[in-house]
Amino acid sequence: MVLSYSNQQFLNVAQTEYQRAWVEIDLQALRENVRQLRQILAPQTQLMAVVKADAYGHGVTQVAKTVLEAGACWFAVATSQEGVELRNAGIDAPILVLGAINSPSEIAVVAKYELQPTLCTPQQALIFSETLGKRGHSLAVHLNLDTGMSRLGTPWTEAVAFVQFVQQLPGLELASVYSHFATADDVDGGFMYLQQRRFQDAVAQLKDHGLYPPMLHIANSAATLRDRSLHYHLVRVGLAIYGLYPSPQLQPAVRLKPVMQVKARVTQVKTIPPHTGVSYGHLYQCDRATRIAVVGIGYADGVPRLLTQKMQVLIRGQKVPQIGAITMDQLMLDVSNIPDLQPGEIVTLLGQDGEQQITADDWANTIGSISWEILCGFKKRLPRVYC
């Protein structure tokens, strides 16, 4: 298996002087979010930081090192490649791979880098055992029970047979049994608690057969913020460590601060006469003489084209409307209210400027998406600046 990764640029704040656009990551906010989350956990409950998708676009290496310092104990990734990237960065904490793995060559990579895979079916467990053969020591594995997500996992009603089968296979050591909530961020917690009851019933059946998994976990960010009874031995927290809430009703639980800001520079300022079209398709026709600013960021960087003429940005602490179609590398603003604006000035697309703030939730709500998608959408051609 060939494992390769795109090079990620890392800059300090001073170097942004030469950048058209960049992503700023507030490591102190990240640390504080982890500390806030740990305060609502029982002492015996560990925090697993979900750092898949390049830590939701924040840069996995720096995020992993920072959250470890702040008190996280585990990491969760989606793929073995993401786990290998952490190992190559010097991270030796336990790493759970959430995605299903069936390829013998990928299983060999998992074993080599001491990653901990998710097993979703007895057939998958058998492939692991046969591939590992007489390795000399067992590989820690986590069993996923489907309690209602209808994605990965063996039905919760078959938990006993699943665990018994895995425990008799050579080369595998049971590390945990877990499940995943489908609706923990809904106002109505009815189905979430049905999933919890199914999970508890499965665990009770295991105990009745003398089977005691070392760890149990089911809580994502929403469940972690919502109810301490859902925490078990560890919680898997993604969105919350990056400073966003899975749903508004969970905000009172802890005080979180967004970790990511997205900024760009004005590249040109001009005044156009009345009845002039702006950008592709002339979706915007100015009805007066309009001072416009061109900004060096576009949909190829992660600004959704669906935000065309529906978004605002911050300049000098005030909101400014975006006009015309958002293009691949640039977008335009109506800056008529800032007559002395000059090329090179900083535009905040996401983040805080003075008393004003624009969040990933604002963008997501505007285009009918979710904040997870917004965060993960910022491409690697935008340098990450850690401050």
pLDDT tens-digit map of 179-234: 999 999 999 999 999 999 999 999 999 999 999 999 999 999 999 999 999 999 99
Q: Which has more pLDDT, 7 or 267? A: 267
Which token pair is 83? 């786990």
Judge contact between 335 and 267, C-beta under 8 A. Answer: no
Q: What is the mean pLDDT of residues 17-40?
A: 95
Question: Percent of the chain having pLDDT more than 90?
Answer: 92
pLDDT tens-digit map of 284-311: 999 999 999 999 999 999 999 999 999 9
The residues that bridge with 285 in the sheet, in sequence order, are 277
Q: Is 246 exposed, middle or buried (0-12, 13-18, 19+ CB in 10 A)?
A: buried
Maximum C-alpha span of the chain: 80
- d(CA 106, CA 186) in angstroms, rounded, equals 36
Q: Does the annotation count 379 as an active-site position?
A: no
Q: Does the annotation count 178 as an active-site position?
A: no
Among candidate residues 5, 207, 280, 379, the one labeled active-site is 280
- 101 three-class SS: coil
Judge contact between 52 and 80, C-beta under 8 A. Answer: no
Domains and CATH numbers, the chain: 27-250 (3.20.20.10), 260-386 (2.40.37.10)
pTM > 0.85: yes
Report pLDDT for 11: 57
Count of all residues that appear for the chain in the document? 387
Whether the per-residue pLDDT at 3 is higher than 90: the answer is no
* Buried-exposed string 131-158: b where 16+ CB fall within 10 A, e elsewhere: bbeeeeeebbbbbbbbbbeeebbbebeb
pLDDT band at 13 (very low <50, low <70, confident <90, very high): low
Which token pair is 234? 């560890």
Report pLDDT for 133: 83
Report pLDDT for 202: 98
- d(CA 165, CA 159) in angstroms, rounded, equals 10
Find the helix or strand (DSSP H, E) in which 348 lies: strand 346-353
The residues that bridge with 372 in the sheet, in sequence order, are none
The residues that bridge with 24 in the sheet, in sequence order, are 261, 385
pLDDT band at 1 (very low <50, low <70, confident <90, very high): very low
Q: Is 253 exposed, middle or buried (0-12, 13-18, 19+ CB in 10 A)?
A: middle
Report pLDDT for 7: 41
pLDDT tens-digit map of 134-190: 777 799 999 999 999 999 999 999 999 999 999 999 999 999 999 999 999 999 999
DSSP state of 78: S
Report pLDDT for 17: 72
Task: Give the phi and the psi of residue 347 in degrees, each rounded to 5.
Answer: -115, 130
Amino acid at 186: D
Judge contact between 140 and 173, C-beta under 8 A. Answer: yes
Find the helix or strand (DSSP H, E) in which 199 lies: helix 190-208
pLDDT tens-digit map of 323-382: 999 999 999 999 999 999 999 999 999 999 999 999 999 999 999 999 999 999 999 899
Q: Is 356 exposed, middle or buried (0-12, 13-18, 19+ CB in 10 A)?
A: middle
CA 345, distance to chain mean position in Å, is 30
Whether the per-residue pLDDT at 34 is higher than 50: the answer is yes
CA 357 to each of CA 267, 332, 344: distance values in angstroms, whole numbers, following the listed order:
23, 20, 21
CA 265 to each of CA 147, 155, 262: distance values in angstroms, whole numbers, following the listed order:
48, 52, 11
- What average pLDDT does the structure give for the chain? 94
pLDDT band at 4 (very low <50, low <70, confident <90, very high): very low
